[in-house]
Structure 1
């Protein structure tokens, strides 16, 4: 493998060229066969572990340090907010996979309600009433509409009792003097548009649906709205343990790590058909996600 400096790449300040000596391949396999596999350099992994150990402040808020310009502080605050958004996306994506989410409900109102706290109360009342009648596993995300109001996308698994869902939702929001709807976003014409956007349609598509739903948490986000709760997940969602598949020594390079990631997937009985991929050569990180096998 060529040295990064010889290729003329601009590397982060924590990368000095020697980080390319070892790679680790880790995997997370869900009950329905979905997998996430990541390969990364040891030096980069240690760097991000150190960052995670630092105390967290309010997302998007940051005091100006001594000798630091307002512009620098603003840029770092924006980066911090983006990091928080990516962390939330990862959490939502993995929980969608854990509940085998294969469809998305959308709860909306006729009223142009723009207050997140009102939507939070509506959602809490809705999920409490539904939980009293059945086990309700969900991952719910707020999205702002063009008119300024919010609506809630809810990832669920399997067929739903639409009559019951609509009845409960309408009874909740009518107490606030408004009407609304509950729609299945993966049916009819909307489904065709969504599947075209996420890359196709087929049985092993839950991993793509999870990624699609997770993107809503960062849409039109700023420090004001993101510091308020914009997503909810049901209790009792258990994520599978992340395990190490391979630890490659200094005689191996990034290409070997990518090959090992594919071998990990194939060795667990999955295929790469319809898989999602991410590769950042600047910091030596490869990620892939595969679909469900059952």
Structure 2
């Protein structure tokens, strides 16, 4: 897998929140100092048959320090930077999951001819674009806003299925308008799957590719600014969660593949970090006979 895919995937898996307990459960078997390492599996099955499995090591600690502190007022926390990182990670994960749920396989990029820096105006343009395209055909989308170093704003929109380039461009240009010299002030580009080089099993990579834009310029955003936008009616699959009996990373990896094999390992993509105690597996929609052989 590419460096870009690994980087965006690692920053979008939300494995930073480990539960803290104030009483020992029946299965507790610590080292005498309150610590115990255990692995938890989380599984999502998408409508088209894609699956994601994350198994992560979670540390439990029982002590006075584990008791929750009174929450700070919104925006007043001394840990704002870390909170931003956590929020960015959650947003990236949600974008990736939404892209998979709508079976996103293409990306529309909407740009401006001028140096557009007015976020509120740009978002009005995006809303108008989605509404007008939706009148022509069903239009499920997941959009992220990117602001370049010079301040220029543009949008990346993940969609499913073939798009009419002429329609997309004409609608966007009619919304943005023309300049004093009669030149078009907006441009639209549609990238098909083969232009990404991801192939038929590239849904995971495309979802991670667009999710990476969510984390850009998090330090310059206002407190209540949204990180991504999506059409109504996108319902993410429920998460199946259970604690597994494995006590080491090898067992966790083997368990993850056993879970994924239930739906087949076609187009399987993996990511594992032994230091963090995390293994991630994603499969592509199955198009043929069940493939369930572990690759090692």
- Scaled by the length of structure 1, what TM-score is found? 0.75
Are the equivalent residues in 1 in contact too, given 2:107–2:158 (CA < 8 A)? yes
Choose which of 209, 218, 236 in structure 2 pairs with 1:212.
209
* Aligned pairs for 1:1-294 within 5 A: 18-20=35-37, 22-41=38-57, 43=59, 58=74, 61-63=75-77, 73=78, 76-174=79-177, 179-186=185-192, 191=195, 194-195=196-197, 201-225=198-222, 227-244=224-241, 247-249=243-245, 252-271=247-266, 273=267, 275-279=269-273, 281-282=275-276, 284-294=277-287
Over aligned residues, Cα RMSD in angstroms?
3.2
Against the structure 1 CA distance between its residues 45 and 181, is the aligned structure 2 distance closer, same or farther, given a 3 Å change threshold? farther
- Scaled by the length of structure 2, what TM-score is found? 0.74
Against the structure 1 CA distance between its residues 33 and 45, is the aligned structure 2 distance closer, same or farther, given a 3 Å change threshold? farther
Against the structure 1 CA distance between its residues 31 and 187, is the aligned structure 2 distance closer, same or farther, given a 3 Å change threshold? closer
Q: Match of 2:281, SS?
A: strand
Distance, in Å, in 2 between the alignment partners of 1:230 and 1:210 is 15
Distance, in Å, in 1 between the alignment partners of 2:271 and 2:169 is 38
Are the equivalent residues in 1 in contact too, given 2:145–2:155 (CA < 8 A)? yes
Distance, in Å, in 1 between the alignment partners of 2:67 and 2:115 is 40
Q: Which residue of 2 is the match for residue 6 of structure 1? A: none
C-alpha distance after superposition, 1:129-153 (max 9, x if no partner): 1222221100011112344211100
How many positions carry a matched residue from both structures?
252
Q: Could you tell me how far 1:228 is from its partner in structure 2?
A: 1.7
Are the equivalent residues in 1 in contact too, given 2:178–2:185 (CA < 8 A)? no
Distance, in Å, in 2 between the alignment partners of 1:127 and 1:54 is 41
C-alpha distance after superposition, 1:104-141 (max 9, x if no partner): 00001112111211111101111111222221100011
Distance, in Å, in 2 between the alignment partners of 1:56 and 1:101 is 38
Q: Could you tell me how far 1:276 is from its partner in structure 2?
A: 3.4
Unmatched runs of 5 consecutive residues or more in structure 1: 1-11, 64-72, 196-200
Unmatched runs of 5 consecutive residues or more in structure 2: 1-17, 21-29, 288-296
